[in-house]
Amino acid sequence: METRAQAEGTTPLVSIIIDNFNYARFLRPAIDSALAQSYAPVEVVVVDDGSTDNSRDVISSYGDRVSAVFKPNGGHASAFNAGFRASHGSIVMFLDADDVLLPNAVEEVMRAWHPGVAKAQFVLAHVDADGRALGGTVPYSPAQMPDGDIRASILDAGGYVGVPTSGNAFARTVLDRLLPLPESQWHQAADTSLEIIAPFLGDVVSLRKTLGCYRIHESNHGMLGDELDSRKLRVKIVIDLQRESALSEFASRSGFAIPRNWAAREPAHLKYRLASLRVDPAHHPMMDDRRLRLMLTGLGSSWRNPGYNFRSKLLHTVWFPLAALLPQAAAAKIIKLGLIPGRRRGKTPATTAKQALSDL
């Protein structure tokens, strides 16, 4: 099927920028997946952010099939900035080096793309370090992914149901306004800044189908893993507050304002704060947080959030009181169930992820 651009006689160049730091063991499947896209033209830019493993050798083995950028270590935003400078596509996708795209990912994105789109997003299947399917997806409830002009909803709800780095495509005109990112602020999770601000520059398109794989492993910074990690909980809280600051700064420049304590309108953020307070209160980063206050705020935000369906609201109505009021050992079990929902429910057939990796 032709994309809209093809039907009009033009075929936009799509840039896939792979950011890598010491992920040589995963890097080849990521690069291969970018090169194997059914859509053309695609350029693949691979940024190595000062790796100390054999990543450089892996990248160099592709010769001129990829555009290689080798730079000193500077963090996530630094890699994004360098990759974007080296790219030329009118649509840009950032692919983490431990993730992969399905062969039809770009084709599906371009088929859905239309004038006025700021970003498109799609579902990623969970796989383990060896590429074995784990059964879940991110987001765990694709049906709740939004479409169109979602600015008012973001301001009201403290965010929206989105996807990490590898499940997004951005209009270059949007990234021209958002990059370069401040590298000292976004040493990791730079994608969160782009994903929260992009919808204020155009429409969002959500493809509620699996078009890539999100790898969960011991070095993964984005997932909590099978056991609660209080350090990762604290990192997620800080990243949410950085995201709030980035949106507030953009809003100020653009002539609008965001609500006070905007991040606390998102139930997921409140869940991280309550979990951190219960699991490791001595190191919790928010000194004024109290269990009952977080519980009540979380209940209210869950029922007001337009991105949550009735089932999700009921689950949060149960989760917040149990996580806040149960003894610590019992609360920890409830907290774990509430923070790893996708892997528990198994929304995607295992064959989807297996096939995605076996095709590479």
> What percent of the chain clears pLDDT 70, i.e. is strictly above it?
89
Would you say residue 336 has pLDDT above 80?
yes
Q: DSSP string of 33-52?
A: HHHT-SSSSEEEEEEEES-S
Confidence class of residue 347 from pLDDT cuts 50, 70 and 90? very low
**Beta strands per DSSP E along 128-243:** 133-138, 168-171, 203-215
Q: Are strands 133-138 and 91-96 parallel, antiparallel or unpaired?
A: unpaired
- If one compares 167 and 143, the residue with the highest pLDDT of the two is 167
Reading phi first (left if > 0) and then psi (alpha if -120 to 50, else beta), residue 289 is in beta
How many CB atoms within 10 Å of residue 49? 23
What's the pLDDT score for residue 345? 40
CATH numbers and ranges of domains, the chain = 4-222+348-358 (3.90.550.10), 230-339 (no CATH)
Q: What is the pTM of this model?
A: 0.89
Q: Quick one: pLDDT band at residue 227, thresholds 50, 70, 90?
A: low
Q: Give the model's pLDDT for residue 10.
A: 79
Q: What pLDDT, on the 0 to 100 scale, is given for residue 359?
A: 44
- pLDDT number for residue 339: 86
How far is Cα 170 from Cα 249, in angstroms, rounded to an integer?
20
Compute the mean pLDDT over every residue in the chain, rounded to the nearest whole number: 90
Q: Report the pLDDT value the prediction gives residue 8, as an integer from 0 to 100.
A: 42
Residue 349 is predicted with a pLDDT of 38
pLDDT category of residue 141 using cuts at 50, 70 and 90:
confident
pLDDT in tens, 230-277: 999 999 999 999 999 999 999 999 999 999 999 999 999 999 999 999
Band (226; pLDDT cuts 50, 70, 90): low
Banded model confidence at residue 222, pLDDT cuts 50, 70, 90: low
Query: In percent, how much of the chain has pLDDT > 90?
Result: 82
Cα 174 from chain centre: 17
**Above 80 in pLDDT, residue 7?**
no
348: confidence class by pLDDT, cuts 50, 70, 90? very low
Tens of pLDDT, residue by residue over 270-313, are 999 999 999 999 999 999 999 999 999 999 999 988 778 898 89
**What does the radius of gyration of the chain's CA atoms come to, in whole angstroms?**
20
Q: Specify burial of residue 139 (Cβ count, 10 A radius: 0-12, 13-18, 19+).
A: buried
For residues 228 and 90, the model is more confident at 90
Provide mean pLDDT across the span 312-330. 95
Instruction: Give the pLDDT band of residue 221 (cuts 50, 70, 90).
Output: low
Residues in the chain: 360
pLDDT confidence of 329, banded at 50, 70, 90?
A: very high
Which residue, 97, 94, 47, is CA-closest to 70? 47
C-alpha–C-alpha distance, residues 278 and 327, integer Å: 9
**Cβ proximity of 126 and 135 under 8 Å:** yes
> Which is higher by pLDDT, 221 or 64?
64
Residue closest to 178 by CA, chosen among 238, 120, 118: 118
